[in-house]
Amino acid sequence: MLGPLTRRETEVLKWVRQGKSNKEIAVVLGIEPKTVAKHLERIFKKLGVENRTAAALYKGNAHFGR
């Protein structure tokens, strides 16, 4: 893992784990769907996964909520 997830990344991951789409997450967080996509790119990289399903199922030793 490259570093701890930020608070916002942790929030995005929480909603991904609840099955929300990027558009739904954007509405909840008051941001653009493209911003959600960027957060997910960073989350995937930090967790060492390739997709949202793997990120949602991630149980590794991640440091959340910097």
Give residue 66's pLDDT: 46
Residue 24 lies in a domain: yes
Domain that holds residue 35: 7-57
Q: What is the pLDDT of residue 61?
A: 56
5-27 pLDDT tens trace:
999 999 999 999 999 999 999 99
Both structure tokens of 29 = 């967080």
Counted domains in the chain = 1
| pLDDT value for 3 | 83
Please report whether residue 51 resides in a domain.
yes
Query: Does a structural domain hold residue 23?
Result: yes
Going by C-alpha positions, the residue among 58, 53, 43 that lies closest to residue 2 is 43
CATH code at position 36: 1.10.10.10
- Global pTM? 0.86
14-63: pLDDT as tens digits: 999 999 999 999 999 999 999 999 999 999 999 999 999 999 999 865 55
